[in-house]
Amino acid sequence: MKKNPYQPIETNLIEVISESPVIKTFVLQPKEGFRFNTGQFIELSLNGTGEAPFTPSSDPNISKEIEVTIMNAGRLTAGLHQLKNGETLGIRGPYGKGYPLNEFKGKNILIVGGGVGLAPLRSLIYSLLADTSSFGKIYLCYGAKTPQDIIYKNQIQKWKRAIDIKISVDRADDDWKGNVGVVTTLLNDFKENLSNFISIVCGPPIMMKFTTYKLIDIGFKPSDIYLSMEKNMSCGLGKCGHCRMGRFYVCKDGPVFTFDKIKDMHDLWD
Amino acid sequence: MDKYFIQKKDTAKFLDNLSRDYGVYVPYRIKGKEIPCDLNLKLPTDDYLLESWDRIKKEDFTFNEYRAIEPLRTFFAFPKERLRLDEEEKKAAIFGVKNCDLFSLKIQDFVFLDGEARDPFYERRRQNALLISGDCPSFKETCFCRSLDINPYPSEGFDINFSPLDENFLVDTGSQRGEEIIKSSGLFNHATPAQISRRDEKRNSVVKRLTEHLAFHQIPPKDVLQEIVRDGYESDVWREEASSCVECGGCNLSCDTCHCFLLSEDRLKDTNEKIRAWDACLYANFARVAGGANPLKRRYQRLRNRYLKKFDFFPDNIKLNACCGCGRCIDVCPGKIDIRRILRRLNEEKSVSAH
Ligand SMILES: Cc1cc2nc3c(=O)[nH]c(=O)nc-3n(C[C@H](O)[C@H](O)[C@H](O)COP(=O)(O)OP(=O)(O)OC[C@H]3O[C@@H](n4cnc5c(N)ncnc54)[C@H](O)[C@@H]3O)c2cc1C
Ligand code: SF4
Ligand code: SF4
Ligand code: FES
């Protein structure tokens, strides 16, 4: 019998990790083999509640377990946030093209993340760190609303050995000693030679917009800026029509696009 | 493929024979609402539904003068269905398909059969279905296929085609399967050259009448549609036209070339099977994302989006406009929003700004 591409695979939820007051990481164990490339996304469903696209945040080289980091943003995600270990979820995919690691080889890489946008970037960072000799220097600029909202605090500490990391918060608290301001302010004194650099950006639309303009400002070429676009999605397969952006379907042709491919589109950041 | 002839009285027998192997659907005439014709061409106003042959009285069998109310895609991706592959389905034989519908299948096939993920539900039904198309001996006021260079008679994409000839039919076969069905039925004779030339005359006369009718509407030619919807992005036409839209979604749901759908969960049964239902891009939440952001928040944006999808996205991807000129969206719209008028207005604005 033919395969039903809409049918999710049953997946055990084996651990829930609290990352911030509104963000949790779900450790999933699919009952059938499931592999993804970094930057590809999945459709995750909760019976009777709904289904939505998420990008795995775990190391794609680990296939037994998949981690997904999810912000509580509405109906389905609120339902997910109430779950405990042992529940069963549904997973379909992986979908989309993900990050073209081959294009990054030999280049210096500036990663800019905002909020829960660090989730797909964590998967990317794992892939880069697994093969550091293939890539140049790696920089990470990360912005969160408040110090409480910073996710992956432990991993970030470990990455510091291999990655130049800067973090900023929109609003500080009494204990915060670091940068304050939107994430683009971290780029003000980014003075590297950009001839062999690419940048990878993921975060809320408004953050992606201002970060992209900032990167252009400091000298990045549009074709060297990789953006993760978010659109409403249902099928993930290029069929349901929901995620159209110009001549593309974000689910099939993206979700990662270089800025030159999309910069002339109307209402790009809406 | 070959040309045959069948008498009207034998057609019922033909359909009866077919229903041994197929679920047969035929046009069923219903009284349509009158749409006044601007040129007084006295156009027919009845409508047709595609009904199961078992459920209509044989004497109600009729040949539809033009496309039915429901779009052909109804038979391949159901308006609402549970997506499970293990259910047996009877093959469909659909009588009364028109050339606009056949054109639309090119769009639907691209969506559901192209790429790595072929849709197995669509694929199975599409492969199994027997398409019995027919010439249009007339047209509705809202038909504008010829504006898109689509003829009111089929020349490809069918298994069997019926051209009305007086009370009887000239029959073309378009596939091996169609050919075999005709041959084995014993109800068809070979068509004579005289019959064929009379059929061709009829076709030409319908095209002539339709062309006259369409001249009135001044619909821009199909090759400029992409340009005018692109250049008209900021046009006031969208706001003005969308002001009477009541967001019923009828234009999408009746459309031969629309294909959007939404997957959802079964709220009662504890299963992870998906339920698929047709969706409409004129609905307010079509493009809404988490946190309430919505790139198509306003009605005019959604109306414009429909045209960009049809006349910009599809030409970019498969060099075809995703509109067959069936006019169903015009018939259905309670806001009297008319695709012919919108395209004409965009074109007029464009030529004004060019001077
Ligand atoms: C490619 C991609 C990757 C993503 N990765 C992540 C991730 O790693 N972590 C994370 O926290 N979030 C991610 N998101 C966002 C996530 O999909 C939304 O937060 C989620 O859809 C919200 O669902 P909800 O029911 O909780 O929200 P609500 O606002 O309650 O949604 C209600 C309804 O709005 C619609 N809707 C809202 N957002 C979307 C959407 N994006 N796609 C389809 N329908 C939508 C649906 O119809 C849904 O039923 C990603 C989005 C995309 C497109
Ligand atoms: S049929 Fe008319 S009123 Fe209904 S959604 Fe379409 S444009 Fe709006
Ligand atoms: S847009 Fe209107 S005329 Fe064109 S295919 Fe759809 S329903 Fe028919
Ligand atoms: S999510 Fe269905 S087409 Fe992209």
Domain ranges, ordered by start, for chain B: 3-215, 222-354
Predicted pLDDT at B224: 96
What separation in angstroms does the CA of A112 have from each of A208, A255, B191?
9, 16, 72
pLDDT in tens, B95-131: 999 999 999 999 999 999 987 789 999 999 999 999 9
- For chain B, the average pLDDT equals 93
pLDDT in tens, B293-333: 999 999 999 999 999 999 999 999 999 999 999 999 999 99
Q: Which of residues 55-84 of B touch A (CB under 8 A)?
A: 83-84
Token pair, residue B200, equals 């061709």
Among B289, B294, B296, B297, name the best residue to mutate to test ligand 1's pocket (greatest count of ligand atoms within 8 A of Cβ).
Answer: B289
Predicted pLDDT at B350: 83
- Of all ligands present, the nearest one to the C-alpha of B264 is 1
DSSP tag of B66: S
pLDDT greater at residue A31 or residue B39:
A31
pLDDT band at A39 (very low <50, low <70, confident <90, very high): very high
Predicted pLDDT at A122: 97
Do the Cβ atoms of A50 and B264 come within 8 Å?
yes
Measured between beta carbons, the chain A residues lying within 8 angstroms of B288 are 232
Q: Above 70 in pLDDT, residue B41? A: no
- Run of H or E residues at A155: helix A153-159
Task: Tell whether ligand 3 has an atom less than 6 A from the beta carbon of residue B329.
Answer: yes
Distance CA A71, CA B172 (A): 60
pLDDT in tens, A116-146: 999 999 999 999 999 999 999 999 999 999 9
Residue B283 in contact with partner chain A when CB distance is under 8 A: no
Task: Tell whether ligand 4 has an atom less than 6 A from the beta carbon of residue A249.
Answer: yes
Q: Above 70 in pLDDT, residue B37? A: no
Predicted pLDDT at B36: 63
pLDDT in tens, A81-114: 999 999 999 999 999 999 999 999 999 999 999 9
How many Å lie between the alpha carbon of A177 and the closest alpha carbon of chain B?
A: 31
Q: If you take atom 6 of ligand 3, which residue's CA is the nearest one? A: B255
Do the Cβ atoms of A240 and B279 come within 8 Å?
yes
A129 exposure class (CB count in 10 Å sphere: 0-12, 13-18, 19+): middle
Give me ligand 3 centre to Cα B325, in Å.
5
Residue B317 in contact with partner chain A when CB distance is under 8 A: yes
pLDDT band at B43 (very low <50, low <70, confident <90, very high): confident
pLDDT in tens, B176-189: 999 999 999 999 99
A79's CB contacts (< 8 A; 6+ apart) are A46, A49, A50
Q: How many CA atoms lie within 13 A of B70 on its CB side?
A: 19
Residue range A215-239: average pLDDT? 96
- For chain A, the average pLDDT equals 95
- Of all ligands present, the nearest one to the C-alpha of B261 is 4
Nearest to B266 by CA among A89, A46, A75: A46
B60 exposure class (CB count in 10 Å sphere: 0-12, 13-18, 19+): exposed
Contact of A209 with A269, CB cutoff 8 Å: yes
pLDDT in tens, A154-201: 999 999 999 999 999 999 999 999 999 999 999 998 888 888 999 999
Could you tell me the domains of chain A? Answer: 9-95 (2.40.30.10), 101-228 (3.40.50.80)
ipTM: 0.94
Residue range B212-241: average pLDDT? 96
Smallest Cβ–Cβ distance between A6 and the set B259, B260, B274 belongs to B274
Residue ranges of alpha helices (H) inside B218-284 are 225-231, 237-242, 250-253
A102 exposure class (CB count in 10 Å sphere: 0-12, 13-18, 19+): exposed
Task: Tell whether ligand 1 has an atom less than 6 A from the beta carbon of residue B288.
Answer: yes
Residue range B33-50: average pLDDT? 74
Residue range A55-76: average pLDDT? 95
Query: Nearest 5°: CA angle at B54, between B52 and B59?
Result: 100
Nearest to A111 by CA among A173, A151, A182, A164: A164
Residue range B87-97: average pLDDT? 94
Contact of A76 with A52, CB cutoff 8 Å: yes
pLDDT in tens, B58-80: 888 899 999 999 999 999 999 99
DSSP tag of B138: S
Give me ligand 4 centre to Cα B264, in Å.
14
pLDDT band at B291 (very low <50, low <70, confident <90, very high): confident
Report the share of chain B in percent with pLDDT over 70: 97
Smallest Cβ–Cβ distance between A4 and the set B111, B120, B260 belongs to B120
Residue range B203-227: average pLDDT? 95
- Of all ligands present, the nearest one to the C-alpha of A6 is 4
pLDDT band at B33 (very low <50, low <70, confident <90, very high): low
Residue range B162-168: average pLDDT? 94
